[in-house]
């Protein structure tokens, strides 16, 4: 009768053993009018050892699109259903906040755009989104090219010396260099130098990631904060970064005061196209902590995510040589030896599909975190205000019900002449950049950044997992990391001759084909 028995039937079809179903639904039968969310029991110990989203996948197969997970006194709702995800993220988004995420990230992001909620979020979103306009993103393409070219030089040297390279940390440096210039016009040059500021950024990042997977908030213990050497290091790193941010804000403010440019919608300063420059020119308050919080948020949001996408893309490619060949063919014909331009972004269709598919198999971050601000109904179950919710993008993206050969890396699953897959046209079964009002503001930026890096790297080199490299396994921080790096052997490609694609000339006798 009604919903519970329907749910029971579909769980049973999914192969859930009848004992489990009887147990799960025994209480439902007793309270038909008030269905209760399935509760995963006895699975907690499995959670600690590996990346936590892996056991959540097994539980999803057993318990379905929404279930409760208990961790001692804590309890979480795990959502892996596209309709429920759409409800939380888009249709009733005002009833949800960032919850635990905001608590964990407060020390570094303050009330920056990612953790912020309510009015603060609304005002800052309206201020920041215009800064990432079309002309800005177009100006970024050459920055992506230059930064990737520096990486190519490094790889060139490694190829000459026959030395293996650890790609995960190289990608992390690449994307740090890019985001520093893009957000506040600062050249970390982390691909060449290991300066104090670069180390400070990593100290803060590691702390944020450790806090997000730590079961006990040890950093909240008052004395701990003062005596723990590690917490002292974190405080010192934060101070260093904030001092540099203050300097950069002051320098930028002077530039804005001196320039003649009139501020307008697609305003870009050629010397300094950064987001900071746009914000100051638009009249943002230089002295505010909010501005620093937002800069710090974008620094972190745009750094590890893109690095992780590139890392897992190259891992996936290392196992599918046929995809690499197709990719190289496209890049050779579209780019040749040129740096990519904004026009090329439309033409690098297959490269874009490779990134789309990499983001499906390795979504960054693998779960989205929310907390209910009011009572609501999710998938037919009433829930209370104050519930902590994990939307498992990992589960959505690998659901056997939603995808054909879900585990397979298959860029061809999206036709080249079709639309770019996103949450709207995939009806919330694909959420690489989230969805609804809290969707990523850097989605275009990040797509172009990763496509440019991918195209330029595979154009010049072949990559293979290094001989004797440790197995590539996953661990979690905010994004998915490898446990022991991605060690690869890089060899220079023997470039095939560049043949421009011809418009099928009709070869009449005597007609000459101009190849220049």
* Interaction site with ligand HEM (CB under 6 A): 113-114, 125, 297-298, 301-302, 305-306, 309, 364, 368, 432-434, 438, 440-442, 445-446, 450
User: Looking at beta carbons only, is 301 or 331 nearer to ligand HEM?
Assistant: 301
Q: In angstroms, what is the minimal distance from the CB of 362 to ligand HEM?
A: 9
**Residues present in the chain in total:** 516
Asked if the bond preceding 365 is cis, omega within 30° of 0, the reply is yes
User: Looking at beta carbons only, is 204 or 446 nearer to ligand HEM?
Assistant: 446
* Sign of the four-CA dihedral 153, 157, 162, 166: negative
d(CA 243, CA 234): 14
CA 418 to chain centre: 23
* Sign of the four-CA dihedral 411, 414, 416, 422: negative
Structure tokens at 395: 């589960």
User: Looking at beta carbons only, is 306 or 462 nearer to ligand HEM?
Assistant: 306
Q: What 3-state DSSP class applies to 269?
A: coil
Q: In angstroms, what is the minimal distance from the CB of 432 to ligand HEM?
A: 6
User: Looking at beta carbons only, is 304 or 330 nearer to ligand HEM?
Assistant: 304
Q: In angstroms, what is the minimal distance from the CB of 383 to ligand HEM?
A: 18
User: Looking at beta carbons only, is 462 or 476 nearer to ligand HEM?
Assistant: 476
User: Looking at beta carbons only, is 444 or 472 nearer to ligand HEM?
Assistant: 444
How big is the chain by its Cα radius of gyration, in Å? 25
Q: Which residue is nearest to ligand HEM (CB)?
A: 442
Q: What 3-state DSSP class applies to 336?
A: coil
Q: In angstroms, what is the minimal distance from the CB of 308 to ligand HEM?
A: 8
User: Looking at beta carbons only, is 60 or 312 nearer to ligand HEM?
Assistant: 312
d(CA 252, CA 382): 51
Q: In angstroms, what is the minimal distance from the CB of 73 to ligand HEM?
A: 24
User: Looking at beta carbons only, is 340 or 442 nearer to ligand HEM?
Assistant: 442
User: Looking at beta carbons only, is 294 or 344 nearer to ligand HEM?
Assistant: 294
Instruction: Tell which residue, 245, 240, 347, has the closest CA to residue 296.
Output: 245
d(CA 193, CA 362): 29
Q: Are strands 388-392 and 74-79 parallel, antiparallel or unpaired?
A: parallel
Q: In angstroms, what is the minimal distance from the CB of 438 to ligand HEM?
A: 4
Q: What 3-state DSSP class applies to 182?
A: helix
Q: In angstroms, what is the minimal distance from the CB of 450 to ligand HEM?
A: 6
Q: In angstroms, what is the minimal distance from the CB of 433 to ligand HEM?
A: 5
d(CA 390, CA 53): 10
Q: In angstroms, what is the minimal distance from the CB of 284 to ligand HEM?
A: 15
Q: In angstroms, what is the minimal distance from the CB of 142 to ligand HEM?
A: 16
Count other C-beta atoms under 10 Å from residue 254's C-beta.
10
Please identify which residue in the block is written with the tokens 């948020």: 297
Output the CA angle 216-220-221, nearest 5 degrees. Answer: 90
Rounded to 5 degrees, what are φ and ψ at 79?
A: -110, 125
User: Looking at beta carbons only, is 66 or 301 nearer to ligand HEM?
Assistant: 301
Determine whether 320 is exposed, middle or buried from the number of CB atoms within 10 Å of its CB (0-12, 13-18, 19+).
Answer: middle
**Dihedral-angle region of residue 199 (phi above 0 means left; psi in -120 to 50 means alpha; beta otherwise):** alpha
On whether the CB atoms of residues 19 and 62 are closer than 8 A, the answer is no
């Amino acid at each position: 009768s009604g919903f519970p028995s329907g749910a029971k039937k579909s769980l049973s079809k999914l192969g859930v053993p009848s004992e489990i179903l009887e147990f799960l639904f025994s209480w439902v039968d007793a309270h038909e009018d008030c269905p209760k969310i399935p509760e995963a029991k006895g699975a907690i110990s499995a959670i600690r050892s590996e990346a936590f989203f892996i056991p959540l996948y097994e539980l999803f197969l057993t318990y379905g699109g929404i279930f409760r997970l208990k961790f001692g006194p804590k309890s979480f709702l795990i959502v892996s259903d596209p309709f429920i995800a759409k409800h939380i993220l888009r249709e009733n988004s005002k009833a949800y906040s960032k919850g635990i995420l905001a608590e964990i990230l407060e020390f570094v992001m303050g009330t920056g755009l990612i953790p912020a909620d309510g009015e603060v979020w609304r005002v800052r979103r309206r201020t920041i989104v215009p800064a990432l306009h079309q002309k800005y993103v177009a100006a970024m393409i050459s920055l992506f090219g230059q930064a990737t070219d520096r990486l190519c030089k490094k790889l060139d040297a490694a190829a000459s010396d026959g030395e293996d390279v650890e790609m995960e940390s190289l990608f992390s440096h690449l994307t740090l260099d890019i985001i520093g210039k893009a957000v506040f016009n600062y050249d970390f040059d982390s691909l060449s130098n290991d300066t104090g500021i670069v180390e400070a950024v990593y100290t803060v990042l590691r702390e944020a990631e450790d806090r997000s997977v730590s079961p006990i908030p040890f950093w909240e213990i008052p004395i701990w904060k003062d005596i723990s050497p590690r917490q002292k290091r974190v405080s010192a790193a934060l101070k260093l970064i904030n001092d540099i941010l203050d300097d950069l804000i002051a320098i930028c403010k002077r530039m804005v005061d001196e320039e003649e440019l009139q501020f307008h919608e697609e305003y870009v300063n050629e010397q300094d196209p950064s987001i900071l420059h746009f914000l100051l020119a638009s009249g943002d308050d230089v002295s505010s902590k909010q501005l620093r919080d937002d800069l710090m948020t974008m620094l972190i949001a745009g750094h590890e995510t893109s690095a992780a996408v590139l890392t897992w893309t190259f891992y996936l490619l290392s196992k599918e040589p046929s995809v690499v060949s197709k990719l190289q063919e496209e890049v050779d014909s579209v780019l040749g030896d040129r740096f990519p331009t904004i026009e090329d972004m439309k033409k690098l269709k297959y490269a874009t599909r490779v990134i789309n598919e990499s983001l499906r198999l390795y979504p960054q971050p693998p779960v989205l975190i929310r907390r209910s601000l009011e009572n609501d109904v999710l998938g037919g179950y009433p829930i209370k205000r104050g519930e902590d919710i994990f939307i498992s993008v990992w589960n959505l993206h690998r659901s056997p019900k939603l995808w054909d050969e879900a585990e397979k890396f298959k860029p061809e699953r999206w036709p080249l002449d079709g639309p770019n897959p996103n949450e709207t046209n995939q009806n919330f079964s694909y959420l690489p950049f989230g969805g609804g009002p809290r969707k990523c503001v850097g989605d275009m930026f990040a797509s172009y950044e990763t496509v440019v890096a991918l195209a330029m790297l595979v154009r010049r080199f072949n990559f293979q997992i290094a001989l004797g490299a440790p197995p590539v396994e996953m661990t979690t921080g905010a994004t998915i990391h490898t446990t022991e790096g991605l060690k690869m052997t890089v060899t220079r490609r023997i470039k095939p001759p560049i043949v421009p694609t011809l418009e099928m000339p009709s070869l009449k006798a005597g007609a000459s084909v101009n190849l220049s």
